[in-house]
């Protein structure tokens, strides 16, 4: 009997590489525009449909109480552009304050739900929430560099919520993110340092 054994990491890497090549085409053609990030989000939503390639025991969640209950495994090799793709695992009840990224950022759901609240901060309107998106399977959010969001991870116990996260710059380089309090006052929002390399030969 011929039993075909799947090589999940290699399958995943091939699809990641294809997706990131399409993301590069979009970004190079359209620049860092709203149209571009929405098209890139659609590519990532297609990739996230392959749940069996991402929700595997290769990826272990953070121990509750460490690294703000979050870990991100890097999936793509840097192609020289700086763009970075991760699969992230976040534990229920993890949240972040409102913040921007100062680079574009795209989140799409694989398994479980992370609520994203979107805000505006400007002189005329002050600081206020303008939208709420439940990012889960088949749903994503694409943020321009100046867009402001907060995250609120849903679920039960220590069952992680899985997402793909794609950024214009690697997480560890996002040292200029700005955090907002309820009155719109700002301070720096340092990146989460809990990233691991999960690239493999395709
Ligand atoms: Fe963020």
**Cα-to-centroid distance, 126 and ligand 1 (Å):** 20
**Cα-to-centroid distance, 30 and ligand 1 (Å):** 23
**pLDDT per residue as tens, the chain (202 positions):** 677 889 999 999 999 999 999 999 999 999 999 999 999 999 999 999 999 999 999 999 999 999 999 999 999 999 999 999 999 999 999 999 999 999 999 999 999 999 999 999 987 778 999 999 999 999 999 999 999 999 999 999 999 999 999 999 999 999 999 999 988 899 999 999 899 999 998 7
**Cα-to-centroid distance, 18 and ligand 1 (Å):** 25
**Cα-to-centroid distance, 5 and ligand 1 (Å):** 37
Burial of 17 (0-12, 13-18, 19+ CB in 10 A): middle
**Cα-to-centroid distance, 148 and ligand 1 (Å):** 8
- Partners of 126 in the beta sheet? 122
CA distance 155 to 144: 27
**Cα-to-centroid distance, 48 and ligand 1 (Å):** 19
CA distance 167 to 196: 15
Both tokens assigned to 153: 């991870």
**Cα-to-centroid distance, 85 and ligand 1 (Å):** 14
Reported pTM: 0.95
Tokens 């867009």 locate to 147
**Cα-to-centroid distance, 70 and ligand 1 (Å):** 12
Selection from 81, 131, 122 nearest residue 103 by Cα: 81
**Cα-to-centroid distance, 97 and ligand 1 (Å):** 9
**Cα-to-centroid distance, 171 and ligand 1 (Å):** 10
CA distance 165 to 151: 13
**Cα-to-centroid distance, 31 and ligand 1 (Å):** 21
**Cα-to-centroid distance, 154 and ligand 1 (Å):** 16
CATH topology classification for 8-197: Jelly Rolls (2.60.120)
The pLDDT of residue 159: 98
Burial of 141 (0-12, 13-18, 19+ CB in 10 A): buried
């Amino acid at each position: 009997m011929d039993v075909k054994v799947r090589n999940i990491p290699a399958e995943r890497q091939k699809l990641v590489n294809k997706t990131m090549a399409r993301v590069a085409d979009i970004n190079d053609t359209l620049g860092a525009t709203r149209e571009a990030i929405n098209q890139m989000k659609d590519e990532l939503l297609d990739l996230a449909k392959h749940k069996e390639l991402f929700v595997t025991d290769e990826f272990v969640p953070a121990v509750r109480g460490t690294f703000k209950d979050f870990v991100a495994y890097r999936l793509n090799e840097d192609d020289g552009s700086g763009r970075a793709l991760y699969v992230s695992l976040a534990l229920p009840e993890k949240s972040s304050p409102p913040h921007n990224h100062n680079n574009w950022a795209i989140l799409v759901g694989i398994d479980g739900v992370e609520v994203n609240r979107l805000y505006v901060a400007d002189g005329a309107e002050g600081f206020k929430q303008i939208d709420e998106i439940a990012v889960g399977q088949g749903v994503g959010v694409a943020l321009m560099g100046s867009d402001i969001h907060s995250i609120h991870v849903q679920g039960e116990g220590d069952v992680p919520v899985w997402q793909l996260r794609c950024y214009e710059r690697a997480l560890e380089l996002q040292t200029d993110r700005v955090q907002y309090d309820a009155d719109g006052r700002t301070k720096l929002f340092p990146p989460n340092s809990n990233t691991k390399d999960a690239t493999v030969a395709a």
